[in-house]
Structure 1
């Protein structure tokens, strides 16, 4: 009987200890679940820091290994767990980039080769006046031909805008990291990301302005707003960029000014 009581007491104690451990585990799980997500900001996002080189960012394990966009000569990568590359869209991007590059090179060549007719000197003879008029007429004809060619070439340049829009829409929900000729140039936030002030996709323009009142928030091109990134961003050229649509934030990014794709 005594042995039975001892065994019962030991079993009871074991159950109490197990219950306490389970409670502690539940508390730990609740604490982990309550941990707020990392804010999108100058301190970086999901393991990518603004001061990183392309090789450092890829080696960090924060990004998928294969690029998801090659538009404009830049290379974009998805955050870990992001979408796989879309070969059809990327093939279109490569074609558009090639056409746009050739068109821009030809336009630059046309403009560089234009040689204005020197002005007629005072006291010119009748023969010199006639030669001047002939050269002027030739230039007018050449200018007209050049403008016609530039207009045709502009159509290839115009392909970039809808192609960029398609890329942005395809990767808007998951975000992307953009590298140019001098390294990291843009972090595009996923749709659910928020700054430390709680601003992100879906925030109203009023909420945006209230969150950054007195912090140099200003209108930018294409209806966007931009804000200098706080210290620790790896340089003075980093800015928050808020894309707006119908009075709300539609996209959030960190962009480095004065950097280029190609």
Structure 2
């Protein structure tokens, strides 16, 4: 038995070497597989995972387009459910994640509009009931007639003064409405806003990150705006905004608010659609 120990040990050593070599090879193969897998994962990660941002357009933005009814617009899920303004009878909403309704501003809007409607209704009525100018006294009129005429003239003057004040207040209420509208526009210039009339969508105000197909949006220079749309009919309107008619959609226009030589707001709207 002692004579056979040497060969047995040699065989055992040889087997161990073979196993070590095989194990190393297996590990090498596993490393290659892991490396290949890592390379594959890296390649997949490097591949594009998102589409280009949606262009802001009158043809449709975030599922909203001309003709969309208010309920259908809310059903898209892209708008917050609570309105942020009811001024002029339109109902305005913000996009998801936009600012919450400002009760103080909305209450002020409601009070301004109520005063505007009341004063202008009174002014319209007063215009139809204004007293006729007092006539001259006939020759030989009595002192009583003269006194009556004087009283009538005084009453007419008093009525005229009251009417004049009413007209002035009504005119101021119109100016107050313009101020309220401008304050609303400014409040949502960066976040965006969607306005619905009774008949459907009336105005889409773009959020600050939105861009048209030509790359125009908040921050674009006036030169870039004119280069993009000058040949297509872009004009400076009386409102102070730059307007561009939407081809093929009667009444709809792009509106660009420019301040300091740069675009600060962008909308597409149909002002011919009345809120109520």
| TM-score > 0.5 by shorter chain | yes
1:27 to 34, 46, 65: 46
Matched with 1:41 is: 57
Measured against aligned partners, the alpha-carbon deviations of 1:219-241 in whole angstroms (never above 9, x if no partner) come to 2122211111134xxx4111101
Greater shift, 19-28 or 246-255, is seen at: 19-28
Gaps of 5+ in 2: 1-18, 140-148
1:103 and 1:157 in contact (8 A); partners too = no
1:100 and 1:156 in contact (8 A); partners too = yes
2:31 to 4, 12, 20: 12
Measured against aligned partners, the alpha-carbon deviations of 1:21-77 in whole angstroms (never above 9, x if no partner) come to 32233223xx236x4321111222222222311111110111111111122221110
After superposition, residues 145-160 of structure 1 pair within 5 angstroms as 145-160=162-177
Gaps of 5+ in 1: 118-125, 128-132
1:245 to 250, 253, 259: 259
Deviation at 1:170, TM superposition (A): 2.1
Q: Which runs of 4+ in 1 moved over 6 A?
A: 136-141
> How high is the TM-score relative to the length of structure 1?
0.80
RMSD: 2.9
Measured against aligned partners, the alpha-carbon deviations of 1:135-190 in whole angstroms (never above 9, x if no partner) come to x9787775554232110233333222332233222222111001123211111111
Measured against aligned partners, the alpha-carbon deviations of 1:183-206 in whole angstroms (never above 9, x if no partner) come to 111111112222111222232322
Question: Would you say 1:201 and 2:237 are equivalent positions?
Answer: no
Give the distance between the partners of 1:39 and 1:183, measured in 2 at CA: 22
Matched with 1:98 is: 114
1:184 to 176, 179, 201: 201
2:256 and 2:267 in contact (8 A); partners too = yes
Matched with 2:83 is: 67
1:99 and 1:157 in contact (8 A); partners too = no
**Residues 246 and 139 of structure 1: CA distance in aligned 2, closer, same or farther (over 3 Å):** farther
Give 1 or 2 for the bigger CA radius of gyration.
2
**Residues 106 and 17 of structure 1: CA distance in aligned 2, closer, same or farther (over 3 Å):** farther
Matched with 1:172 is: 189
Matched with 1:261 is: 275
2:189 and 2:264 in contact (8 A); partners too = no
Give the distance between the partners of 2:211 and 2:257, measured in 1 at CA: 14
> How high is the TM-score relative to the length of structure 2?
0.76
Matched with 1:120 is: none
3-state SS in 1 of match to 2:231: coil
After superposition, residues 76-155 of structure 1 pair within 5 angstroms as 76-113=92-129, 142-155=159-172
**Residues 168 and 140 of structure 1: CA distance in aligned 2, closer, same or farther (over 3 Å):** same
Aligned length: 244
3-state SS in 2 of match to 1:213: helix
Question: Would you say 1:210 and 2:224 are equivalent positions?
Answer: no
1:75 and 1:179 in contact (8 A); partners too = yes
**Residues 80 and 12 of structure 1: CA distance in aligned 2, closer, same or farther (over 3 Å):** same
Matched with 2:144 is: none
